[in-house]
Amino acid sequence: MNLNKLGQSLCTAARSQCGVELKHLNQAFKNTSRASSKMDDKFKLPARYGAGEKSVWVEYIQLAAEYKPKVNLGQGFPDYHAPHHVLKALSEIALSENPLLNQYTRGFGLPRLVQSLTKLYSPLVGQKIDPMNEILVTYGAYEALYAAILGHVDECDEVIVIEPFFDCYDFMIKAAGGEPRFIALAPKKTEGTITSADWVLDERELTSLFNERTKMIILNTPHNPIGKVFTKQELQLISDLCKKHNVLCLSDEVYEWMAYEPAQHIRIASLPGMWERTITVGSAGKAFSVTGWKTGWAYGPAALMKNLQVVHQNCVYTCCTPVQEAIARSMEYELARRDSPECYFKALARELMPKRDMLVDALKENGFNPTIPESGYFIVADWSKLATKIDLSQEPDKYKDYKFTKKFAKECGVLAIPPTAFYSAEHKHLGEDYVRFCFIKKDENLSLAGQLMSQWNIKKRK
Ligand SMILES: Cc1ncc(COP(=O)(O)O)c(C=O)c1O
């Protein structure tokens, strides 16, 4: 065999070998893609979780990392330190002489913490709360909501949800097999000075939602994102309907210490006949400005709390011991000075009010129409008068508020949250003209946000 022939036969052998391998590869590929499409089918997200697939938090935290806005007024957390005694408590606990403070604790809540929560809330709801059976400590208010909804909502139960709503309510109701029924707060006016008290529910519409399938209504007061503090009269209407139709009230009160005078937060559980049908949710993250500690609680009558305990004990079982201990010590510290103006539960609103006013002024000066919140640390502002100054035509999102917040962050350097994330599909249009800003931020950052907005406006005039 000459060299040429040898080369040719090697090539043929190689090709035929390749052919065999390619055939194998093709077959293997077909098998894999068949298997993977079978796997895709088998392992797709269960339909009952579909409501939570898209999360505004995941998307906007990612955007913040991508755009690096000069000021992030998106997610609700302070960019400054919590009270010193709170931070000191946690820093001391890890190295304390008691090794058990770093080990598992009682599943339904560290005894010292549930004791202090009893002392705090019993006088506020006019009930002697049993710390061992009527309080559950959870991973943030989030888990308290989860345990309450999963623990009480059954297949085909209806749950009334007030819009705009904290977005996980929808997911949790559907995950439990229930059906959310939405009703939107609507502003009584859209021009001039608007406060969160102007956002109201239509009494007839609310009444019409209650029926024999209604298991629960979720109330959020003080309200995120509007800042509404439900009045005694409004709570009375909800309570009358709950009693008439034998419905539970899940009251999300994580902003309970942030009502701005003269507004006063009223706990619906304190209304006559409501303790026995109300589960109230609170958050240490919000109460002590330590959102990263992710510790919250639910309290209510033992008969209702039993169901939450079942979900909790099979889900997380017990929460972080040193964090619970630090919250218990912080709570005791505040309880000892609860009648003093220095008590953080009073000081917090005083500290936040000037921040609110600073951002309200900046927004008004820059073409937004903000709803002045009576509580909480968010401002919802109408941006529709800026529509002629911003070209949203290249923004691919479906809803105008998503387009606006993204383009505004890119052009102006201030990031905020699109409120349609807090509406059901059928009511998203109600949130499209608004944007949500968070103001629990350093004064210098709020002031920088104001400067950036006015520079943006000046540029747009040219
Ligand atoms: C209305 C509402 N409920 C519950 C939560 C969750 O609180 P936590 O951080 O304690 O889980 C938040 C957080 O922003 C909230 O705004």
Ligand 1 binding residues, C-beta < 6 A: 76, 140-142, 166, 220, 224, 252, 254, 283, 285, 291, 294, 296
- The number of beta carbons lying within 10 Å of the beta carbon of residue 61 is 14
Task: Name the CA radius of gyration of the chain, rounded.
Answer: 27
Q: Give dist(CA 403, CA 396) in Å, integer.
A: 7
The pTM assigned to this predicted structure is 0.91
Amino acid letter at 263? Answer: A
Write down the H helix ranges in 43-83. Answer: 56-67
CA of 4 to the centre of ligand 1 (A): 78
Q: Check pLDDT > 80 for residue 342.
A: yes
158-202 pLDDT, tens digit per residue, is: 999 999 999 999 999 999 999 999 999 999 998 889 999 999 999
* Beta-sheet strand order (sheet of 369-372): 194-195, 369-372, 378-382, 434-438
Mean pLDDT of the chain: 93
Q: What is the pLDDT of residue 4?
A: 46
Give me the mean pLDDT over the 299-312 stretch.
98
Give the DSSP H or E segment for 115.
Answer: helix 111-125
For ligand 1, atom 4, name the residue with the nearest CA. Answer: 141
Ligand 1, atom 9: closest residue by C-alpha: 140
Structure confidence by residue, pLDDT tens digits, 349-407: 999 999 999 999 999 999 999 999 999 999 999 999 999 999 999 999 999 999 999 99
| Angstrom distance (rounded) from CA 11 to CA 400 | 62
**Residue 331 CA, ligand 1 centroid: distance in Å:** 19
- Which CATH number is 84-336's, of 3.40.50.2300, 3.90.45.10, 3.30.70.270, 3.40.640.10? 3.40.640.10
CA 385 – ligand 1 centroid, Å: 31
CA 199/CA 79 separation, integer angstroms: 29
- Cα 159 to averaged position of ligand 1 atoms, centre (Å): 19
Pairing of strands 296-299, 135-138: antiparallel
How does pLDDT run across 70-96, given as a tens digit for each residue? 999 998 999 999 999 999 999 999 999
Mean pLDDT to the nearest integer, 105-134: 98
If you measure from the C-alpha of residue 142 to the centroid of ligand 1, how many angstroms do you get, rounded to a whole number? 6
Ligand 1 atom with minimal separation from the 223 CA: 1
What DSSP character marks residue 259? B
Tell me the fold of 49-80+343-461: Aspartate Aminotransferase, domain 1 (3.90.1150)
- More confident of the two residues 48 and 21: 48
CA distances 189 to 194, 230, 444, Å, are 7, 18, 32
The structure tokens 């949710």 sit at: 281
Q: Where are the domains of the chain?
A: 49-80+343-461, 84-336
**Quick one: pLDDT at residue 30?**
62
